Structure formats: C-alpha cells, structure tokens
Amino acid sequence: MAIYYIYPIYTFSLIIIAYALVPRVEIRRLIFFGIIFGTVFDISIIVLGSKILEIFNYINYGPFECMGIPFFPPIAWAAYFIIFLYHLPEEKPWNYLFVFTAAGYSTLFSNVLRNLGLFQWNYGTLIIPFLIYFSWHLTITWVYYKLTSGMENNVLGITNSLFEKEKAKNLFKKRGYAILRLSFRSKLR
C-alpha cells in the first residue's frame, strides 16, 4: 500500500469518529463552523505556512492534491473541529485547558505524520508547531464564542433557527410518542 493512502484513511476515520461522538443534530449545527474553521482556515494556513513562509510542507500526498494543496487534510480538519466545538467547555478555566490540550494533541499528531513521511516541519517540531496550533485553536474558540453568544440576534441566526426546528421536531416525536402511549394505556383501562 502506498503511503499516501494514509490521508484518506485518516480523514474517513475522523469522519466516522465525528459521527460516533457527536449527535446528528449537533453535526448539522456545527458543520458550518467545521467548514469555515477547519477547511477554510486550513487552506489559508497551508497557503501561508507552506507556500509563502515555508514553515511546513505536506509531502507524499500522491494524486490527492489540487494546485499543490492536498485535499484530504482540510476535510479532516472540518471533522476535527466539529468534534472540538461540540466538546468545548463553556466555563472559563476549562475551555483554556481544553484549547491547550487540543493544541498539544495537534502538535503530537503532526509529528506522527512527520514520522510517517507525510508532513515536514522546517523550523523545529515542538515550539513553532505548538504556537501555530495553539493560536489557531484559541482564535477559533474566541470567534465561536463571539458568534454563538446571542445567536438569535446575529448573522448566524439561520443556523440557530435550523437547529431549533430540528430540536422541535425531535421533541414533538418524543412527546407525540408519549401522548400516543398515554392514550393507548387509557383505552386499555
């Protein structure tokens, strides 16, 4: 098996993990944030960090690229940030610890990819990567909190209304089932 097959294997594994850990309603609510914070940010970071500043490079991506940018890592980052945002705590000291831990995990995983021959850091493997991931996660956490606080009064109210409709539909299903069950029991008596 060629080494570049690790990209789609990891991406599809992360998507399956996201579907296993995050409820479908929450995935629908967070998919917008996952695409913006994961895919768009990752492509921007790849262009800036790889093509312009030459801090890192994706290597051995085989046929899975477009204009020198591999297309599986941005998809994997979208799934990752759906999981990240779903599990992000709201309390102040815990969310910073969560961001710190997530940046550490990302640094660790990038070094695993480096050891597999899929990724290359040009200026160290610990401090610069951790600072990049920490600033990325911290920025996303701050923007996410700003965008979702008072969601009904801002631009993303559409996402909130879709989430509320789905929540109402699920509540109706549960209550509708309960009402049918109650009426059936009363008919038996």
Give the DSSP H or E segment for 121.
strand 119-121
Residue 155: pLDDT band with limits 50, 70, 90: very low
Q: Is the pLDDT of residue 6 over 90?
A: yes
Residue 158's alpha-carbon distances to 34, 154, 161, in angstroms, are 16, 9, 5
3-class secondary-structure state, position 61: coil
pLDDT tens digits, residue range 73-128?
Answer: 999 999 999 999 999 998 888 999 999 999 999 999 999 999 999 999 999 999 99
What angle, 0 to 180 degrees and rounded to 10, lies between the N-to-C axes of helices 127-148 and 72-87?
60
Nearest Cα residue to 113 out of 63, 67, 76: 76
Dig out the tokens for 174 from the structure.
């549960």
- Whole-number average pLDDT of the chain: 85
pLDDT tens digits, residue range 47-79?
Answer: 999 989 999 999 988 899 988 889 899 999 999
Q: Is the pLDDT of residue 42 over 90?
A: yes
Residue 169: pLDDT band with limits 50, 70, 90: low
Give the integer Cα–Cα distance in Å for 120 and 170.
46
Q: What was the pLDDT predicted at 19?
A: 96
